[in-house]
A and B are shown apart, each in its own frame.
Chain A
């Protein structure tokens, strides 16, 4: 799960790859926006659709808030992972169970600061530019940790706009982003701050 997190957080916050497209998010700001996720599962006639909002704050965490088909939120911070359904906690895992969390934070920060060198070093592949758009393909075995993924494709302009995750077993996800905006932390509402309260 943590490897997913690494990859996904990276893409959501991806600030653009060419110098003229940078959208750097400084550590006192957050990136917010909307997502639509289509999950195509093998043996299912139609994809499972969900949509909602996300918030990412460098060095603090990621909030993935699904609004449709029903309210559920996932928070990932240096402390761990917390999932709630309609406000009720359904999953809580401390980061100590996932030592790779440190790696995640490192990647988050470098991607947010638009550090291409780190990403190239991680994935080994270079983006392709065309008509103000770019795309990047990543093969799973280039990603540390051995993801159950066959291929990841990222597309974007200023921000990352679309992510396609092809999994083993014929499943694949398509996540589209829209309305990405940088916000000062003070502008965030209480329920937009990615943090895990209480417990361990």
Chain B
């Protein structure tokens, strides 16, 4: 019976592991966007969906910039790189640089010119100033610097189309179109910018493995050919690859050190390999099941869940160690006996930990929910592995204890003999809590989003340089507009645009970009056509043509009578830039984005469409900075809730005062750790708060294991706690040396907190 349960469970674990490996291979759904951690209940479904689509679109893009003293060489280099990539079908061929997209766009738009008016012309014509528009056209025609040629003037005597083009979004970019590429010139260097769309998933490892080496090879080929060539790049695929390599580097150093440390420790104590593979089995089962559950439930795994989920290792290995330490017990003759002795402590520890983690899921924060599910499922899996599988695999015999170790540990235990009475420990707790209250002022909260920045610095510099070169300031503010049809959305965009134009005129906004600015709504195009005819052509065309020596065949007769739609432009491939603005376009719903640049007055922007469901102003920068604070506060309050819930649960087994004493040990560690860290100048971030939760959960395990041990068994229980502490310190303490702040904060908090929790754990001893 036990055996079949064991195999069944092992099959579940193996299946989970295979599933996770399969997902990693086909494109691990790793979520790195910090916004995904925000509460999701406050956002309408269309907003969430549009955000996800936007993230996907951006992720599929790669920007490559080459720089050389000579334009021709820069152009040759970028062509070779792009042709190499599209030749291998790594990027979509139509995104190659060697095209005059603007010319394509112009030839698509020109036939519809009668319905396309620049903002200024529209204002003049609406205000009855047709004469002024005519004079502007005349001034343009007379200018010795005129660009318009005879053919253009014959078809558009008032030159409304060139003025409309000049007013198009993007005309404020520093980049200029030259010989089929986008280029800029600075400090003696010619820069050429190419935007490419990947032909595979940016986060898929198998695609990364094809793309990254090929890209590197093409770049180094060009650098060999043109030694003075400089190449900059940015894109999610480079970041994904970079953070994986960064993570791998740290993980391989710290991981190897901690695993070697733990293995040496286990070998030294148990003089055999069995505890090692039992521990690895418990850890592996926890990670595989936790990750599989996260992927199945949430579709993707957030980076933060993964970082925190590593904390699982600390708890899983404790379960294994406590089981294995029973080999020192004189009463436990068989594997089943060992399990019987540790089972009550393990079960209570597991239930209380799961409750602790599940309180995280209480809040409507997707990130915390993922951490909760990952950890709770993982813990249950590790527990089941110990309970179901260990006794079947465990063929080891009893061990005699190393008396020197036990007596050294006994000294720590006796520290607390004076305070084992309930009253004394309550007094101790009160003193610590009061001290913590007094020390609260010294703890500096810190919610700087940059602390989260785990991306490689080199790539961030390249991205900043590309932004600066292209003149595209990356405003993290934008509007999203939804509607049932494209026409409806375009009309709303035009309303928003008129308000935005006012802000631009007042200097509160640099510029904005929308689909409707390139392709107005059909309603607007029809209005424009009527306006042009009534306010300009009827009163002024014939006299204007006379004054420039034209004849009556000139004009707008050949203009398309119909209206242009964004779809027509998209079909002809002339408006790739619109693709980024169209977030969704289906029969069900349409969502467009209005991007902003040069934002100088956020409150003014917030007022636009404030009372409308279909207009949303987004401010990512602020969301990012507040999310850390919200999370820090939320993590702390959930920790308080967890303490309360666990106390209530323990009330089923212990008397209330006894339960309070049990909780006292981990609580003392939780409260004093931030103070100790603050004393050494450390600040308090969300990561410290999350680590404290782990300190509480693990520390409570120590207390429970100790409390559940019979009086003559406490030495073994405390010994197991000591080994657990050592392994936790090996696993997390090393993290405090990490270059990544989040990982460092996490590691140092656990290092200090767990040491305290261990030292205080004998407080939990039950009085006879």
What residues on A are CB-neighbors of B552 within 8 Å? Answer: none
| In contact, B145 and A85 (Cβ under 8 angstroms) | no
| In contact, B147 and A1 (Cβ under 8 angstroms) | yes
What residues on B are CB-neighbors of A41 within 8 Å? Answer: 149-150, 153-154
Give the segment of B348-356, B357-365, B542-550, B697-705 that binds chain A. B542-550
A48 at the interface (CB under 8 A from B): yes
| In contact, A175 and B150 (Cβ under 8 angstroms) | no
**Which A residue sits closest to B547, measured CB to CB?**
A69
What residues on A are CB-neighbors of B141 within 8 Å? Answer: 39, 48
B142 at the interface (CB under 8 A from A): yes
CA distance in complex: A70, B151 (Å): 23
B185 at the interface (CB under 8 A from A): yes
A198 at the interface (CB under 8 A from B): no
Known contacts A44-B549, A85-B139; is A37 also within 8 Å of B144 by CB?
A: yes
Describe B's contact surface by its main secondary structure: mixed
| In contact, A171 and B150 (Cβ under 8 angstroms) | yes
Give the segment of A19-27, A116-124, A126-134, A162-170 that binds chain B. A162-170
Residues in A1-17 with C-beta less than 8 Å from chain B: 1, 4-5, 8
CA distance in complex: A1, B144 (Å): 9
CA distance in complex: A37, B135 (Å): 18
Q: Which of A72, A88, A173 has the most CB of B within 10 A?
A: A72
A–B complex contacts, Cβ < 8 Å, 11 sampled: A39-B141, A39-B146, A43-B554, A44-B548, A48-B142, A69-B138, A69-B547, A85-B135, A85-B138, A99-B185, A170-B150
- Which of A5, A48, A64, A173 is B548 in contact with, Cβ under 8 Å? A48
Q: How large is the interface on B (under 10, 10 to 19, 20 to 34, 35 or more residues)?
A: 20 to 34
C-beta contact mask, A17-50 vs B, less than 8 Å → 1, else 0?
0000000000000000000010101111111101
What residues on A are CB-neighbors of B138 within 8 Å? Answer: 69-70, 72, 85
A111 at the interface (CB under 8 A from B): no
CA distance in complex: A96, B147 (Å): 20
A138 at the interface (CB under 8 A from B): no
What residues on B are CB-neighbors of A4 within 8 Å? Answer: 144-145
C-beta contact mask, B296-334 vs A, less than 8 Å → 1, else 0?
000000000000000000000000000000000000000
Binding site for A on B (CB under 8 A): 132, 135-136, 138-147, 149-151, 153-154, 178-179, 184-186, 547-551, 554
CA distance in complex: A29, B146 (Å): 28
Binding site for B on A (CB under 8 A): 1, 4-5, 8, 37, 39, 41-48, 50, 64, 66, 69-70, 72, 74, 83, 85-86, 88, 90-91, 99, 146, 148, 167-171, 173, 175
Q: A47-B549, A70-B135, A148-B147 provided; 5 other pairs, C-beta below 8 A?
A: A8-B144, A43-B554, A46-B549, A69-B547, A72-B139
| In contact, A90 and B139 (Cβ under 8 angstroms) | yes
**Which B residue sits closest to A83, measured CB to CB?**
B139
| In contact, B185 and A169 (Cβ under 8 angstroms) | no
- Across the A-B interface, the 8 shortest Cβ-Cβ residue pairs: A41-B150, A42-B150, A46-B549, A72-B139, A4-B145, A50-B142, A85-B135, A90-B136
CB A80 to nearest CB in B, in angstroms, measures 13
**Which A residue sits closest to B551, measured CB to CB?**
A45
Known contacts A44-B549, A48-B548, A90-B136; is A83 also within 8 Å of B143 by CB?
A: yes
